[in-house]
Amino acid sequence: MYFISTRGKERVTGAQAIVQGIASDGGLFVPESFPAVSAAEMEGMLGMDYPERAALVLGKYLDEYDSGELLEALRAAYARFDDGDPAPLVRIENGTYLLELFHGPTCAFKDMALTVLPYLLRKGCEIAGIKEKILVLVATSGDTGKAALEGFGGAEGIKVMAFYPEEGVSKMQKLQMCTTEWENENVIAVRGNFDDCQTGVKRIFASAEYAKALEEKGYRLSSANSINFGRLAPQIAYYFSAYCDLVTSDQIKYGDKVDFAVPTGNFGNILAAYYAKMMGLPVGKLICASNRNNVLTDFFGNGTYDCKRPFFRTMSPSMDILVSSNLERLVFELSGRNAGLTAERMAALSEKGRYSVSQEELNALRESFYAGYTSEDDTVECIYEFFSEYGYPMDTHTGVAMNVAQNYLKSLEDVVGAEERPMVVVSTASPYKFPQDVLYALTGNDVKDSFKGVKRINLLTAMKVPESLKAIRYKPIRFKQVVTPAKMFDEVLKFVNE
């Protein structure tokens, strides 16, 4: 299968798309066409374990990769997850389910892809005949950084560099990143927010001067953010798997539609659900859940994407984003795959901070998506009430998604003929990654120390504390450097010279 740029100037193989990360024209790679998963293949998936399901989905896009080797790599990646099932589906009641994606090495959904990406990248280099060393750059709002560091730790011929907003991640997320032990990795704090980090990384990718400087050092760039299709593709698989689990547990019949509510920042996770729908998965409505940084809610409401607005630091920091990069892929599809128009819109976003889609496109958008946002107070209330009623502790991002999902269901009560469908809320992180905020939501008590928060949540909920989070309490902090966005590439050059 070939991949094309959303801005029209490049066509590459899957291996090349993964190694390159981003198109040379600044666009994002998308499949030239969406492969279909047939009813017969879906029936076959019902009896498969998770790695087999994921291998089937990924194999549809990455036909250059050996199917047996891909399955072996997926088995090795997901063997690192707790309890044998990397994406368990938990039934609550009344047709509501939680898809738990936090059982990997770093306790967040990014592990679902970033434990697999090192294989996809190394094999992609081999297939494409690329001999240079790889420098993986990561802009992170907290979870992607540690998941990438964990996934690529010790990888031969690959260096990883993560940039995070100095004040824009939780204390636990910062500790996870800054205590990493691998010598092929570097972590830098940036003065600003996630958008500053992401813009800086994109600027490095887009610069011919920077590319030449790295080439002289024997490196080529790749990305671990979801702008890289190799990051996005493994995420498509867990929507198929969740659907299969609903069928095999007799919660639905094959062909019934299912709604998914997804806490959304950079738009990669919910885009993966949309791609699953394009492949034939019976998806009903995709619920796009935002926090106070509700740029996406406004876009789905009025058709104008406007990032010139106040930026808020919230208790759900992985969603504190105003420029949702993966939305470009959806806008490309909405436009009828009009690369020229997509390029114009992205240029307007870069230059003026806004662009608009047509009313026809907006109507098409609303057919697949519902968007809403949650205030800090409502997030706290949702987490508290949910635990009080069901004994289930959620992290802050999942709390946002659950609240928006509940609001969506309430909005249907007065709609004549509204179809009732199962609702799967995507749970993206362990509550222990945000212990202070979760503890406050559950008890009203504040603690300054993250590990005291972990202990108290454990006493209150009896939920098992992940060993990986226990361990970082006593690890030395290796990375303390803070730079301005303008100095990011200087740090990149220093790192490759080491």
E-state strands within 217-338: 219-223, 258-263, 283-290, 304-306
Distance CA 178, CA 216 (A): 29
Residue 491 CB-density burial (10 A; 0-12 exposed, 13-18 middle, 19+ buried) = middle
Distance CA 347, CA 353 (A): 9
Return the SS3 of 163: strand
113 alpha carbon, distance to own chain's centre? 9
- Domains of the chain, first to last: 85-106+231-465 (3.40.50.1100)
Note the pLDDT of residue 93: 84
Run of H or E including 212? helix 208-216
Note the pLDDT of residue 115: 96
- Residuewise pLDDT in 10s, the chain (498 residues): 999 999 998 999 999 999 999 999 999 999 999 999 999 999 999 999 999 999 999 999 999 999 999 999 999 999 999 988 999 999 998 799 999 999 999 999 999 999 999 999 999 999 999 989 999 999 998 889 999 999 999 999 999 999 999 999 999 999 999 999 999 999 999 999 999 999 999 999 999 999 999 999 999 999 999 999 999 999 999 999 999 999 999 999 999 999 999 999 999 999 999 999 999 999 999 999 999 999 999 999 999 999 999 999 999 999 999 999 999 999 999 999 999 999 999 999 999 999 999 999 999 999 999 999 999 999 999 999 999 999 999 999 999 999 999 999 999 988 877 788 999 999 999 999 999 999 999 999 999 999 999 999 999 999 999 999 999 999 999 999 999 999 999 999 999 998
Strands 185-190 and 482-483 turn out to be parallel
Distance CA 366, CA 387 (A): 32
The number of residues in the chain equals: 498
Each residue's pLDDT tens digit, 19-72: 999 999 999 999 999 999 999 999 999 999 999 999 999 999 999 999 999 999
Distance CA 276, CA 374 (A): 26
Note the pLDDT of residue 110: 95
430 touches 108 (CB < 8 A): yes
E-state strands within 144-295: 158-165, 185-190, 219-223, 258-263, 283-290
Alpha helix stretches (DSSP H) within 279-326: 295-302
431 touches 166 (CB < 8 A): no
Note the pLDDT of residue 121: 95
Note the pLDDT of residue 185: 97
Q: What phi, psi does 23 have (nearest 5°)?
A: -70, 155
Helices (H) and strands (E) in the chain, counts: 22, 16
Tokens of 353: 């901070």
Strands 219-223 and 185-190 turn out to be unpaired
Run of H or E including 392? none
Alpha helix stretches (DSSP H) within 35-101: 39-45, 50-61, 67-78
Compute the half-sphere exposure of residue 192: CA atoms within 13 Å on the CB side of its CA: 20
Q: What phi, psi does 91 have (nearest 5°)?
A: -85, 130
